[in-house]
Structure 1
Amino acid sequence: MSLTFASAQSGPSIPLHVVDSDRFEAWRDAQTQAARTYLIATGFKPTIGKSILIPDASGAPVMAVSGFGTPHTRARGRFALAATAASLPAGTYSLVGGLPAGDLETEALGWLLAQYAFDRYAKASGATAQLICPPGVDAAKVEAMAAGEALTRDLINTPASDMGPQELEDAARALALNYGAICTVTKGAALIEQNFPMIHAVGRAAAEHRAPRLIDMRWGSDGPTLTLVGKGVCFDTGGLNLKPGGSMALMKKDMGGSATVLGLAHMIMALNLPLQLRVLIPAVENAVSGDSFRPGDILTARNGLTVEINNTDAEGRLVLADALAFGSEENPDMILSMATLTGAARVAVGPDLSPYYTDDIGFVSALETAATAVSDPVWRMPFWEPYEKMIEPGIADLDNAPAGGFAGSITAALFLRRFAKDQRYAHFDIYGWNPTPSPARPKGGVGMGARAILAALPEVLSL
């Protein structure tokens, strides 16, 4: 699916006026008598999502008007203009004013994302109204962000029957091929030979054609080094600690971390950012068979730490641990992990916010400024040192599922930090799913945090 702006050379477009509630009457009174009369007669109100076409004497549209609501209503959501994209009929539109300059890029992106629909298995369509890129907006940048987000959504929305470890590898290879990146894969028994024991342990129960693997993609030869690590659990049954049916229903999205880092990688490479990018994805299926890893097992990770398995349904941190240890061996300038890791994070902040952990104050400052600017909200969570003892079971160095049920997202983050030792590191415990449709964000898979990271990278890495 191509989410792109309409060409200004493709023919005439309909002027689109964006008007908020505070200035609507003054704006209306400044229009032609015919337009004023039409707006009054139809009772148009400039609320978010409301739009109207104003015709000439022949009935052809001469302008479109989009409601932009109030600062209060805009603060309660994102992508206000995208609601207009969904309400306007098919056609080509050009903005002629009304949007603050600081909102142009984000609202233009929202318009493109409103065109997204997941149509692999049934006919579906998003908004059909096309927008000419507004003056002052970098079309290539916005289109790259839209394409990266669409990739993330497609990967998450695809069911595990068609998105297992092999298909996730195929997606990474296709992305690498498109941008001249190098992609290597360590698979099956080779994981043991090359010292990725926990990735192998989690995925070894799956069918042979869904064997566990570590995907390693590299791009760029100059500039600071950035390593992205994404959880690629393509389906999570819970293993021998089997999930109940209701908790298993959305587990196709348990590879949302890998989908998000691939979407972010797409943005970075499409924009040709001056950095050296590495993407590591441990891709597994946490299945049940006679070869499943078991509660009570003790595994030895790549970096030599031993881990007691107290719940096989806490598998994501295990595969991430080996990948983080591997990525840290090169001492990159920044290492980020993204994962649909804990239900505790969702209980804490809900599905809209991207909780993240870091000790790097510079990263915090850059990320939170960027997140606000691009409407990709994040929320910092604490690496709370007193909880370290909760992940130390005594019989092994670490516990993958501390008892008690408290601070589940924090203890998972502390666990992961042990494998990114002495690194500039941040971890994102994302949800990867939009449960309620909203402008530019249909129900289903969704990227979280990627655009905020993208916007923060120039400051974080001094690009």
Structure 2
Amino acid sequence: MHPSIAPSSVADSIPLIIVSSEELAEVLATLPAPAKAFATAQGFAADTGSHLVLPDAAGGIAAVLFGWAPLKAEADPFLPGKLPPLLPEGTYRLERLPEAAAANAVLGFLLGAYRFDRYRTKKAPPKARLVLPPGVDGEEVTRIAEAVALGRDLINTPANDLGPDGIEAAARSVAGRHGATIAVTVGDDLLTGNFPMIHAVGRASAVAPRLIDLTWGDPAHPKVTLVGKGVAFDTGGLDIKPPAGMTLMKKDMGGAAAALALADLVIGAKLPVRLRVLIPAVENAISGSSFRPGDILQSRKGLTVEIGNTDAEGRLILGDALALADEEAPDLIVDYATLTGAARVALGPDLPPFYTDDDALAARLASLSRAVNDPVWRMPFWSPYDTMLSSKIADVNHIAGSAFAGSVIAALFLRRFVDKAGAYVHFDIFGWTPSAKPGRPEGGEVQAARLVYAYLKERFGR
């Protein structure tokens, strides 16, 4: 169990009473007179996210009031995630919590207890623990919280400690823990194996590029393939980024982190699928061997690709990996990539766009995203924009000649590498929380992995 989950046998837990401003008078009337008087004297109004520790007669903690209306449409399902660093040490039980909100409330609490302190003097972690409410599966929420922590740790780790080889090590750790098979193609072997775009993007780095290929499960089961962009650091290449543009580029492997977190969930739950995870892991560095604007690259698919800008490297490495994924015609391909600034301009950091031609799949993902509080928003594979990728000297350019529809253009480029799969979904994620929110500390974030896990459980879990 997660360390923030208390044993169910704890009898002397502290009530953590959920109350909205509309219900405050009713709840205060049920409290002992001294507690009611204390809350009134403190001016507690049950504002959303506020809390008040109520003392008992001996100077201990009698209860905690927490302002929240979990069933309101605008309520944040993870709001209890702000509590772990605020509550005194102790074991708490949630009271007046609707059953429909319980699983997300507990998960938000666990995710809010996350800390990344690898490079700092260790501080004591939050010591508040929750007794599981009835109906909440402790092993399941633990598995989800730990998978998210895995992905967050990877994104938060700087590139000097997590290059392409470090991403490989993380994938090997997941494979070893679950008994999965892993194969890695490194350096010039990428050319022999027909992954020319992965090689071209990563060849300038002192750490060789590689393609990580992890498989697990019965080959007779439905085939699900995950592809994660693993750019350990992105300078922009010869089209070098300005300093401000490089500040967060350690997170450009956020797609790989999301794919590994999802793999950890799928395998941990033993879903009846044949899972494959493909991660092209590179550093987009600068040296005499850098690929250049105007170069023409071969691709595994057979398409020739004109390079319009070396800072659009992610779609190149994904193209080769998607082509490999598509060759065995899996039932579903899902890719995760920190791909375009245009997606952030359109939807901000917290709402990743996703693309698919499968309307039923899109509708289900949209619905589940709300249920599990892993928000996404569907964007279109708008085919008329395909012409914006035209090249006069190659089969395709990998960028458009204008600043319009950048996320759509990138998605259309990727779609060219998928023909045979039963369904294909592309997530253009940010992989980062710029300012802390309940259950989402500032720093690396695993976006859309919990959502796809919920979908795979629903579709294949039976």
Whether 1:316 aligns to 2:317 is: no
Cα drift, residue 80 of structure 1: 1.1
Q: Report the AA paired with residue 195 of structure 1.
A: N
Alignment-derived partner of residue 85 in structure 1:
84
Alignment-derived partner of residue 358 in structure 2:
360
Whether 1:401 aligns to 2:364 is: no
SS of corresponding position for 1:75 = coil
CA distance in 1, matches of 2:3, 2:278: 27
Q: Give the stretch that moved more between structures: 122-131 or 224-233.
A: 122-131
Distance 1:3 1:349, change over 3 A: farther
Alignment-derived partner of residue 50 in structure 1:
50
Encode CA deviations 1:45-97: one digit per residue, 9 max, x unaligned.
Answer: 2123322232322112222222215877x7264511122333211111112x3
Whether 1:12 aligns to 2:16 is: no
Alignment-derived partner of residue 33 in structure 1:
33
CA contact (8 A) 2:369 2:376 kept: yes
Cα drift, residue 39 of structure 1: 1.8
CA distance in 2, matches of 1:223, 1:3: 34
Residue ranges of structure 1 left out of the alignment (5+ in a row): none
1:220 paired residue among 217, 230, 233? 217
CA distance in 1, matches of 2:304, 2:342: 24
Cα drift, residue 402 of structure 1: 1.4
1:244-259 alignment to 2 at 5 Å?
A: 244-259=242-257
CA contact (8 A) 2:80 2:439 kept: no
CA distance in 2, matches of 1:108, 1:29: 27
1:14-413 alignment to 2 at 5 Å?
A: 14-68=14-68, 75=74, 77-95=76-94, 97-122=95-120, 123-124=122-123, 127-207=126-206, 210-221=207-218, 222-413=220-411
CA distance in 2, matches of 1:426, 1:454: 13
Distance 1:261 1:135, change over 3 A: same
Distance 1:184 1:153, change over 3 A: same
CA distance in 2, matches of 1:297, 1:366: 41
CA distance in 2, matches of 1:150, 1:113: 8
CA contact (8 A) 2:181 2:216 kept: yes
CA contact (8 A) 1:257 1:432 kept: yes
Q: Report the AA paired with residue 314 of structure 1.
A: A
CA distance in 1, matches of 2:75, 2:137: 27
Encode CA deviations 1:220-259: one digit per residue, 9 max, x unaligned.
Answer: 1153111000000000011111111110111100000000
Q: Report the AA paired with residue 218 of structure 1.
A: T
Q: Report the AA paired with residue 430 of structure 1.
A: I
Encode CA deviations 1:375-399: one digit per residue, 9 max, x unaligned.
Answer: 1111000000100101121311111
Q: Report the AA paired with residue 64 of structure 1.
A: V
SS of corresponding position for 2:310 = coil
CA contact (8 A) 1:117 1:124 kept: no
Distance 1:281 1:90, change over 3 A: same
SS of corresponding position for 1:92 = strand
CA distance in 2, matches of 1:9, 1:176: 35
Whether 1:434 aligns to 2:429 is: no
Q: Report the AA paired with residue 229 of structure 2.
A: K
SS of corresponding position for 1:304 = coil
What's the TM-score once normalised by structure 2's chain length? 0.96
CA contact (8 A) 2:150 2:261 kept: yes
**Percent identity for Structure 1 against Structure 2:** 51
CA contact (8 A) 1:3 1:147 kept: no
CA distance in 2, matches of 1:3, 1:230: 29
SS of corresponding position for 1:85 = coil
CA distance in 2, matches of 1:22, 1:406: 47
CA distance in 1, matches of 2:167, 2:245: 23
Q: Give the stretch that moved more between structures: 388-397 or 248-257.
A: 388-397
What's the TM-score once normalised by structure 1's chain length? 0.95
CA distance in 2, matches of 1:336, 1:196: 19
Cα drift, residue 2 of structure 1: 5.6
CA contact (8 A) 2:4 2:127 kept: no
CA contact (8 A) 1:54 1:61 kept: yes
CA distance in 2, matches of 1:138, 1:227: 27
CA distance in 1, matches of 2:76, 2:244: 29
Aligned residue pairs, count = 459
CA contact (8 A) 2:272 2:460 kept: no
